[in-house]
Structure 1
Amino acid sequence: MNENNPIKSKDPLHGLTLEAIVTALVDYFGWEELGQRIEIRSFVIDPSVASSLKFLRKTPWARTKVESLYLFMLREQAREQRN
């Protein structure tokens, strides 16, 4: 790898912070739908990005679900752009 031609990761999550992922999901789905899709208290009861991040950083299964939903959202957005 050289400075003029860096190797790009094929992982769509590469370089993204958990905060960026949660924020994008909230912007796309809204808190209510997000709480229906992934049933965790920080999405349903008094939702906030800060409380969600605190929970997700300590709870691997929930973080995995959030990352999976983010990848689903990216596919949906790509599909919408093609139509």
Structure 2
Amino acid sequence: MSAQRHDDDWQLRAACRGPHSAAFYPPTSLERRDEKSAREARAKEICRTCTVKEPCLEYALKIRENHGIWGGLSEAERRNLVASRA
């Protein structure tokens, strides 16, 4: 197994896998602010119990993911984290 493949093994154990994964990304249609807040809250609740939350967040930061909930943080929260680390 290559190092890159081994580093991504956390994805197989992620709590967001499965039918509820849609909560982690915005829909293709317009989403009202209250709908977005509710969707993100559902996703973050799933993240709260995830055993691979930390590598997920670090991966999103590393690749500069601009969409979705990763490691329990939204796009804006990740941008703020990056800014605070600088």
TM-score over 0.5 (shorter chain)? no
Taking structure 1 as the reference length, what is the TM-score of the superposition? 0.31
- Could you say which structure has the higher helix fraction? 1
Taking structure 2 as the reference length, what is the TM-score of the superposition? 0.30
